[in-house]
């Protein structure tokens, strides 16, 4: 084939030739003074300039020589980047024009035809939610939200016809402005009649503000929410029914008060951690494992009941008290004079004695 090449050699001293898609040639780049062209392309004289852009890209697009396609900048599309892109997909049947704007159907508007149109428009704060349909405030149910109850029907009513409000339970008056329960009905309660609230589950009281705990909180616990007790210190459980023993109760002991354990017959101590032997150990012996007594020095036997003593004579002091009659001088008044007289009275005196006793050596 003898295609029409696009070549240029003024600066780089090389030529570029390519064949159309219908030919069998391919793009080549060679110096202008190189060997002759391949059978499918021919060079032009070195003073020849490129006749036109290989891809004819517009709006700042760049040409991909091998693929002969345009790479378009943001906001443009098309084979030659000649089409301005729309800001997003045109919705609801809208059509994107080369100008970059969506052409919307009559019932929609907006940059991407996303906004429905109500004709005539919604009034009094109504919102167009789909073509020709308005969402109206409570004082109007007119198709275009025209005012039917100029004074409104708040807070407990809805406008059902021109100037007529339908009140919710618990409200009355021409505009539903008066409440039958001025104290309010809280936590989901509803006003049924004058000062009478129908409380939701878990609440009670004139205004449904008092929580209910069933069964009731125990041991000084306070009901702070439906079936929720706030327990005092040293108690726990859903209804504060359990005491807390911070150190625990061992060997089957039970916590019966704040840090107070009730021990079984085979244990003792503040936490029931100390075992008891049955029958009990004697002479101060401690109970060990396996119901065995740990005897103190000079004792023996299965229960340490026998004292093994080396008895010795010991002088042991003791004290006795006696009543002793003593004389005492007493001062009294004799008119303007001071008189003295001697009186007898008993006083307790103590005297130490000694006695000889037998004691076990080491005691």
Q: Can you give the residue ranges of every domain in the chain?
A: 62-116, 134-179, 190-243, 256-311, 312-360
Predicted pLDDT of residue 140: 64
Buried b (16+ CB within 10 A) or exposed e, 319-353: eeeeeeeeeeeeeeeeeeeeeeeeeeeeeeeeeee
Mean pLDDT of all residues in 60-75: 86
The CATH number given to 190-243 is 2.10.25.10
Same fold for the domain at 190-243 and the one at 256-311? yes
Average pLDDT over residues 96-124: 90
- Amino acid 115: pLDDT: 94
Distance CA 6, CA 36 (A): 16
User: Span 159-165, mean pLDDT?
Assistant: 78
CATH of 134-179, one of 2.10.25, 3.10.450, 2.60.120, 3.40.50: 2.10.25
**12-21, 157-166, 319-328: lowest mean pLDDT where?**
12-21
Q: What is the pLDDT of residue 217?
A: 96
Place of tokens 């006749």: 51
What is the Cα–Cα distance from 165 to 141, expressed in whole angstroms?
Answer: 11
Tell me how far apart the alpha carbons of residues 185 and 207 are, in angstroms, rounded to a whole number.
5
pLDDT of residue 139: 60
pTM of the full predicted structure?
0.36
Q: Which residues pair with 76 in a beta bridge?
A: 84
Q: Please tell me the predicted confidence (pLDDT) of residue 362.
A: 60
Distances (CA, A) of 64 to 7, 42, 71, 79: 17, 22, 7, 12
Provide the pLDDT for residue 228: 95
The SS3 call for residue 124 is coil
Average pLDDT over residues 139-151: 71
The dihedrals phi and psi of 289, each to the nearest 5 degrees, come to: -70, 155
Query: pLDDT for 178-208, tens place per residue?
Result: 778 888 889 999 888 888 899 999 999 999 9
Q: What is the pLDDT of residues 332-355, one digit of tens each?
A: 888 888 888 888 888 888 999 999
Mean pLDDT of 139-167: 74
Give the whole-angstrom CA distance, residue 221 versus residue 226: 14
Tokens of 226: 């439906």
Q: Which range (24-33, 87-96, 220-229) has the least confidence?
A: 24-33
How is residue 333 annotated by DSSP? E
Which pLDDT score is estimated for 225? 94
Q: How far is CA 50 from CA 6, 34, 63, 351, in A?
A: 5, 19, 14, 144
pLDDT at 66 (0 to 100)? 79
- Residue ranges of E strands in 113-204: 115-116, 127-130, 133-135, 157-161, 164-167, 171-172, 178-179, 190-193, 196-198, 203-204
Rounded average pLDDT over 228-246:
94
Q: Which residue is listed with tokens 């980047």?
A: 81
The pLDDT value recorded for residue 155 is 67
Q: Is the pLDDT of residue 260 over 70?
A: yes
- Rounded Cα–Cα distance for residues 220 and 156 (Å): 41
Q: Which of 14-23, 122-131, 256-265 has the lowest mean pLDDT?
A: 14-23
Of 1 and 138, more confident? 138
Average pLDDT over residues 231-248: 94
CATH class, 62-116 region: mainly beta
Domain at 256-311: CATH architecture: Ribbon (2.10)
Q: Indicate whether 93 pLDDT > 50.
A: yes
Per residue in 73-99, is it b (16+ CB within 10 Å) or e — as a string?
Answer: eeebbbebbbbbebeeebbbebebeee
Per-residue pLDDT tens over the stretch 305-314: 988 877 788 8
The candidate with the shortest Cα–Cα distance to 177, out of 138, 147, 203, 209, is 138
pLDDT of residue 226: 95
Better pLDDT: 75 or 211: 211
């Amino acid at each position: 084939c003898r295609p029409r090449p696009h070549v240029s050699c003024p600066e780089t001293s090389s030529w570029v030739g390519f064949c159309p898609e219908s030919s069998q040639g391919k793009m080549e780049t060679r110096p202008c003074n190189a060997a002759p062209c391949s059978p499918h392309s021919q060079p032009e004289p070195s003073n020849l300039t490129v006749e036109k852009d290989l891809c004819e890209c517009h709006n700042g697009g760049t040409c991909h020589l091998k693929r002969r396609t345009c790479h378009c900048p943001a906001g443009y599309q098309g084979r030659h980047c000649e089409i301005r892109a729309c800001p997003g997909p045109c919705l609801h049947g809208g059509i994107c024009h080369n100008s970059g704007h969506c052409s919307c159907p009559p019932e929609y508007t907006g940059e991407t035809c996303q906004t429905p149109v109500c004709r005539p428009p919604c009034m009094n704060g109504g919102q167009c939610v789909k073509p020709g349909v308005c969402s109206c405030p409570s004082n109007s149910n007119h198709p275009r939200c025209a005012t039917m109850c100029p004074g409104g029907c708040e807070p407990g009513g809805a406008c059902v016809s021109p100037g007529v409000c339908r009140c919710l339970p618990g409200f009355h008056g021409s505009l539903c402005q008066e409440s039958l329960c001025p104290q309010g009905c809280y936590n989901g309660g509803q006003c049924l009649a004058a000062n009478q609230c129908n409380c939701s589950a878990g609440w009670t009281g004139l205004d449904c503000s008092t929580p209910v705990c069933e069964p009731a909180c125990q041991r000084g616990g306070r009901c702070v929410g439906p079936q929720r007790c706030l327990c005092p210190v040293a108690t726990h459980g859903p209804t504060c029914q359990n005491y807390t023993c911070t150190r625990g109760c061992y060997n089957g002991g039970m916590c019966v008060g704040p840090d107070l354990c009730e021990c079984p017959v085979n244990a003792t101590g503040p936490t029931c951690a100390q075992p008891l032997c049955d029958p009990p150990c004697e002479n101060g012996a401690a109970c060990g494992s396996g119901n065995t007594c740990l005897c103190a020095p000079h004792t023996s036997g299965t229960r340490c009941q026998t004292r093994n003593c080396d008895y010795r004579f010991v002088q042991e002091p003791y004290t006795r008290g006696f009543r002793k009659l003593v004389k005492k001088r007493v001062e009294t008044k004799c008119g303007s004079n001071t008189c003295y007289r001697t009186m007898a009275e008993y006083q307790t005196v103590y005297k130490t004695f000694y006695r000889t006793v037998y004691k076990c050596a080491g005691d």
